[in-house]
A and B are shown apart, each in its own frame.
Chain A
Amino acid sequence: VQLQESGPGLVTPSQTLSLTCTVSGDSISSGDYYWTWIRQLPGKGLEWIGYIFYTGTTYYSPSLKSRITLSIDTSTHQFSLDLSAFTAADTAIYYCARGSVTAAFDIWGQGTLVTVSS
């Protein structure tokens, strides 16, 4: 199973960041997993952003809820993150990951660095 993030490395302030995660080697439609976004701020720890089931059910971080939209396309084996009103504080490495019924994230993408353009 592999996950791969894709999207722009630079985002204009106040614009929307859009990232996609492509899942290969496993069924994104499995009810055993939930498809998750996590970010790592520069030199800091990890922050859970939210997750989506194959049904489209979503759960978002309370602190980011007003700016996040997650979506999933099972036909293309992809799920996506939209983060609106991007600021310098959102500069981070964004990871997609697979969450399981054990409430742990067992497979991670390599991560993609997203920074705010000046």
Chain B
Amino acid sequence: QSALTQPASVSGSPGQSITISCTGTSSNVGSYNFVSWYQQHPGNAPKLMIYEVTKRPSGVSSRFSGSKSGKTASLTISGLQAEDEAYYYCCSFEGRGTSWVFGGGTKLTVL
């Protein structure tokens, strides 16, 4: 059981937008703006896509955006492309214990 809750799967057609939610607690997502998102293609290491809730690292497409409301963070991918098909993981700093917690991952299928 992961500390952060994500839907197991989401899907969308090319060109559409999808949103993946990530629900935590007052010990992590609800208290800190240190939420990050990672994309993982099968056989590869995770890749940082969003950090500090809304910021994109250099080189990450502007089609990826993040937000947060209360204890739930979200990743939105607009203009879906076939290459976006992957697993997505959210992560949050957790003050209790000074640690990091991850979501269980969401499989994105581009139809």
Interface residue total, chain A, C-beta cutoff 8 A: 18
Interface residues on B, range: 20 to 34
Mark out the residues of chain A between 56 and 109 whose CB falls within 8 Å of any chain B CB in the assembled complex. Answer: 59, 61-62, 95, 102-106, 108-109
Q: What's the A-B contact tally at a CB cutoff of 8 Å? A: 59
Asked if B18 is at the interface of the complex by the 8 Å CB criterion, the answer is no
A-B contact pairs, 29 of them (CB 8 A): A44-B104, A44-B105, A45-B89, A45-B104, A46-B38, A46-B89, A46-B102, A47-B102, A48-B91, A59-B99, A62-B97, A95-B45, A102-B34, A102-B51, A102-B52, A102-B55, A103-B32, A103-B52, A103-B93, A103-B100, A104-B36, A104-B91, A105-B36, A105-B38, A105-B46, A105-B91, A106-B48, A106-B51, A108-B46
